[in-house]
Structure 1
């Protein structure tokens, strides 16, 4: 086992442990917005201890049993909006990877292109679904169709921005970092994906800021 593989296993273990820490707490202190009970643990997987810190600093303020005043500023609220988007993308990407791997799928002779298309499609579906679970409970009187339209408007740009960061890193990994890119049955692959998710979050944050400023998306 080389040094990178050891680092990969450690990073994955930290991510999983962070997710479990958050999961245990959201079970004890459920969020007012139910979808955030799923969002926070997912973000723990790639943001690790930072996600745990952000959850206890900002996420716990939105627990049903919280009595503290919510004094989060706009940067923190946009952070939560981006976290919500990122969790949907991450789940979609995690579903898409094994589909491509186990089917041996290639598009135009490229495995990477197959990953791009399948994972973007899955991420988009999960991203819209996550938005729908956020928007519809806030405005049930407007109906499901209206909520779906709002979800598409709110998530499309932020999701594309997320995938730009993520896919960019995947291209670097595929063409630049390794003579033979790691495969999904290797720890190194998922460590690279953790980095991809972080970069996707960073490229999505400005898009979410703009969407919130324009009133297209509500700050969470």
Structure 2
């Protein structure tokens, strides 16, 4: 059994994430500050769930102004570079966070809680990429096989490097958590400490993905300027 102080800390961290989630949820749907791109509503809700108040501040600074804009901004040349990076990292982080939750719950549902960590990591990564493709597909007015391939190509070109950087940090931390930080008793899905460890890993992923997103955005802008 985990120490009582660790369980308490885990519950507090999870509760802070839920409160942050409710703040953005109310602002989005009760006060009507809807995002021009629908999937970004999911992105911000997922981001504040694992980062908490810091992500609420990011939402207030970069996400809410998008909702207050009279129409979707097609020309973002005047938008600060930092805002573009925040949006990119938040989006890719949401893919990874949702992929982590879906894959881990699936493993647990199939009664594979003691499977090798790499199986979970492979599932997390593949699910993150799948969710990224689905998000791109939902943004398109058309639904066809060609659009699926176009969405996949866009993810590979625009987001894959950032997703990979995020996942590498997440998996590195989870490996330490399982073997060194919280080795006994083993982390399980039905323990708050498991999700607390996941929060820490996702925060590490967010920080690690920042340089990757900056590089990828800069590369796109350089190619577009040619």
Per the TM superposition, whether the score is higher than 0.5 is yes
Root-mean-square deviation (CA, aligned residues, Å) is: 2.6
Q: Kindly state the Cα deviation for residue 131 of structure 1 after the two structures are TM-superposed.
A: 3.8
Matched, 1:7 2:9: yes
Question: What is the distance in 1 between the residues matched to 2:79 and 2:16?
Answer: 27
- Deviations, residues 39-66 of structure 1 (Å, cap 9, x unaligned): 1110011110011111111111101555
Question: What is the distance in 1 between the residues matched to 2:115 and 2:26?
Answer: 41
Structure 2 equivalent of residue 58 of structure 1:
62
| Equivalent residue in structure 1 for 2:166, among 162, 165, 170 | 162
TM-score (norm 1): 0.86
Structure 1 residues 132 and 91, CA gap change in structure 2 (3 angstroms):
same
- Deviations, residues 130-160 of structure 1 (Å, cap 9, x unaligned): 24445x46x99xx724344222321221111
Structure 1 residues 153 and 133, CA gap change in structure 2 (3 angstroms):
farther
Q: Kindly state the Cα deviation for residue 121 of structure 1 after the two structures are TM-superposed.
A: 1.4
Question: What is the distance in 2 between the residues matched to 1:186 and 1:216?
Answer: 44
How do 1:60-75 residues align onto structure 2 when only pairs under 5 Å count? 60-64=64-68, 72-75=79-82
Question: What is the distance in 2 between the residues matched to 1:65 and 1:154?
Answer: 24
Matched, 1:81 2:88: yes
Question: Could you list the runs of 4 or more consecutive aligned residues of structure 1 that deviate by over 6 angstroms after TM superposition?
Answer: none
Matched, 1:153 2:153: no
Matched, 1:46 2:50: yes
Matched, 1:19 2:21: yes
Q: Kindly state the Cα deviation for residue 11 of structure 1 after the two structures are TM-superposed.
A: 0.4
Q: Kindly state the Cα deviation for residue 179 of structure 1 after the two structures are TM-superposed.
A: 3.0
Structure 2 equivalent of residue 194 of structure 1:
199
| Equivalent residue in structure 1 for 2:209, among 204, 208, 214 | 204
Structure 2 equivalent of residue 119 of structure 1:
124
TM-score (norm 2): 0.83
Question: What is the distance in 2 between the residues matched to 1:88 and 1:117?
Answer: 14
Question: What is the distance in 2 between the residues matched to 1:166 and 1:216?
Answer: 28
Say if 1:15 and 1:44, in contact at 8 Å, map to a contact too.
yes
Matched, 1:176 2:183: no
Structure 2 unpaired stretches of 5+: none
